[in-house]
Structure 1
Amino acid sequence: MKHEELAALLAEPTTPLMRAALRTLPPKTLETLATVADQAAEQGWRQVIVDRVRAFADEQPGDGSQAVAAYFTTTEQRTGSGMSVGWSPFIAALAPSEEMPDLRHTESTARMVPVGEAARAEEDFADPRLTEALQRLASLDPPAHADVLRVHLPTSRVTRVKP
């Protein structure tokens, strides 16, 4: 079986053929497969983030230097099981250099935003594919409050950094 054929079968793991094949695997093999699948999913969502950030950066007006990196800060999200930390669906900064910009809120006052208003802002202004990829990445690799997600466009690398 060629790689492409295997990839096509794995792309639809809920088909009867794949379900039957998965049921015959020993538990240790299934655990290994699950680990590899999680890693592949994480890499896939990281690539979606890079693609969406690159598209956004390319749409920016001006003849200035191209963006080298984009940064996302964390946000608290209310879920059925309480509060969780995720990535904000909005780019905190597009940087034209390798230097990380100052992402602190130095001149703004934090205020509570009603849940409905925050959801509406996400719906109106956030890129849905980028938002989904950020949410999936946060569920696979949960961030801490002080973390920053760096998208380095020349290398297509998505890393978590501490400011």
Structure 2
Amino acid sequence: MNPLELAELLAAPTQPPVREALRELAPRELDTLVIEALAATEAAWRQVVVSRVKAFAAGQPGDGRPTVVAAYFTTTERRAADGMHLGWGPFVAALSDSEDVPDLRPTRTTATAVPVGEAELAEEVFADPELAAALNRLTVLDPPDYGDVLRVHLPTRMVTRISR
């Protein structure tokens, strides 16, 4: 069985052959499978982020603009029924044409209340849905802290969380 065939089977874990195979695994093997599956899932979502950022950077206007090396995302708070949640904002906070991390600290301290639903509407209208979905999944898999920045390094396709 080649990796693609195995991936197709694992993508449908409720199908009889996969379900039966999972039932035969010992608890230690099941734990190993979960750890590996989560790591592979996180890596795949990171590559979705890289692909969408590359598409965004390629679509930026201006000939003669230096090649984009990295893009950065900052955190944002979202209201939910069970309280506030911190996640990655669905919009690129900065593009950089060098290896230097730009200063992404807030430039003012005034908080502005956003009406419920307005942030979601802006995301729906302006954000790349695939990028937003990938950032939301990464938030669940590896929750950010206040002040963290997500760096997408395009030449190496690396997505790194930078903590301040």
Q: Normalising TM by the smaller chain, what interval?
A: over 0.9
User: C-alpha distance in 2, partners of 1:133/1:88?
Assistant: 11
User: C-alpha distance in 2, partners of 1:26/1:53?
Assistant: 41
Unpaired segments ≥5 residues, structure 1: none
Unpaired segments ≥5 residues, structure 2: none
TM-score relative to the length of structure 2: 0.93
Aligned residue type for 2:98: S
Task: Give the aligned partner of residue 47 of structure 2.
Answer: 47
1:72-119 residue CA offsets vs partner (Å, 9 max, x unmatched): 000112233322210000100011111111212326843111121111
User: C-alpha distance in 1, partners of 2:73/2:19?
Assistant: 38
Aligned residue type for 1:82: G
Q: Does 1:62 align with 2:62?
A: yes
1:1-46 residue CA offsets vs partner (Å, 9 max, x unmatched): 3333322211221212211111121111111100000000000000
Q: Per the alignment, in what secondary structure is the counterpart of residue 57 of structure 2?
A: helix
User: C-alpha distance in 2, partners of 1:94/1:108?
Assistant: 23
Alignment of 1:5-20 (within 5 A): 5-20=5-20
Aligned residue type for 1:157: M
Give the percent of matched residue pairs that are identical in Structure 1 and Structure 2: 60
Point out the more displaced range, 74-83 or 52-61. 74-83
Work out the number of aligned pairs and report it: 163
Q: Does 1:127 align with 2:131?
A: no
Aligned residue type for 1:43: A
Aligned residue type for 2:39: Q
User: C-alpha distance in 1, partners of 2:71/2:110?
Assistant: 23
Alignment of 1:133-152 (within 5 A): 133-152=134-153
